Amino acid sequence: MTKLAIIGGSGLNQLEGMENAQQRVVETRYGTAEVTLGELHGQPVAFMPRHGEGHVLPPHQINYRANIAALKQLGIEQVVACNAVGGIHSEMGPGKLVVPDQIVDYTYGREHTFAEQGDVIHIDFTYPYDETLRSFLLASLTRLEIPHVDFGVYACTQGPRLESAAEIVRLKRDGCDLVGMTAMPEAALAREAGLAYASLCLVANWGAGLTEDLITMEEILQVIASGVEQIHQVLSDFIPSHCN
């Protein structure tokens, strides 16, 4: 049974080398979710494009509850989420891969919990990311000699716009190292569902105001296109080493 899922973010629309792929539309009480089941290097794996086929869903309109509920229904136990982010920390420039260890949530208005009236859920979210999954990802990055950072506080903002320079100053003052738009409520929902969850972040740009240049989508997409190849390398090493 497939127990590991990869959630793809911007630029990661499919898993290279995936064999015997079968697309599934999973019905949940929160809506439907699309998942591809197959094998990578002989290991069963599920793949879910977070933004939908063709990257059509902005971060605030993703049905995070349906996505996580669908993975739970399929018997998934572990999730590696891939995220494109902006860099705030001096070590986290464009092209760097980061395995974050903390989250600060700045989002609003998103359906962020499975808890409903009469079913209160108080999860322990002290450490949002699963340390075992993080260690396997970091081991793969080290084996492949890919430059990376083994820590990071992920600031999750609402989007879909990028941040102002003043907002980046605030995030830095708050202790954040990275800024993205999709870590929450995904990570918390995974914890509520009992799924081990870790993230592999690709820094696509410096945060607003940290350089003299304005941020352009052209430059971001160029970095993502290059960085996604490294993400594929990491996953191709991580999946067989982790599953065996």
pLDDT for res 200: 97
Residue 161 CB-density burial (10 A; 0-12 exposed, 13-18 middle, 19+ buried): exposed
Residues 6+ apart with CB under 8 A from 134: 99, 101, 198
Task: Look at 119-123, 190-194, 207-211 and tell me which has the smallest mean pLDDT.
Answer: 119-123
Average of per-residue pLDDT across 174-198: 97
- Per-residue model confidence as pLDDT tens digits over 18-64: 888 899 999 999 999 999 999 988 889 999 998 877 667 899 999 99
The CATH architecture of the domain made up of 4-115+127-243 is 3-Layer(aba) Sandwich (3.40)
Q: Which pLDDT score is estimated for 111?
A: 93
pLDDT tens-digit series, residues 72-120? 999 999 999 999 999 999 999 999 999 999 999 999 999 999 888 667 7
> Whose CA is closest to 57, among 25, 86, 34?
34
Domain ranges of the chain: 4-115+127-243
* Short-list 51, 84, 79, CA closest to 192: 79
CA dihedral 224, 51, 14, 74 (to 10 degrees): 140
Is the pLDDT assigned to residue 191 strictly greater than 90?
yes
pLDDT tens digit sequence for 108-150:
999 999 888 667 788 999 999 999 999 999 999 999 999 999 9
Cis omega (within 30 of 0) for bond into 128: no
Band the pLDDT of 244: cuts 50, 70, 90: low
Looking at residue 99, its pLDDT comes to 98
* Interhelix angle 131-143/217-243, nearest 10 degrees: 100
Predicted TM-score (pTM) of this structure: 0.93
Q: Name the one residue in this structure whose structure tokens are 């998103």.
A: 110
98, two tokens: 């980061």
Q: What gap in Å lies between CA 16 and CA 223, rounded to an integer?
A: 18
pLDDT of res. 52: 75
Instruction: Report residue 210's pLDDT band, with 50, 70 and 90 as the boundaries.
Output: very high
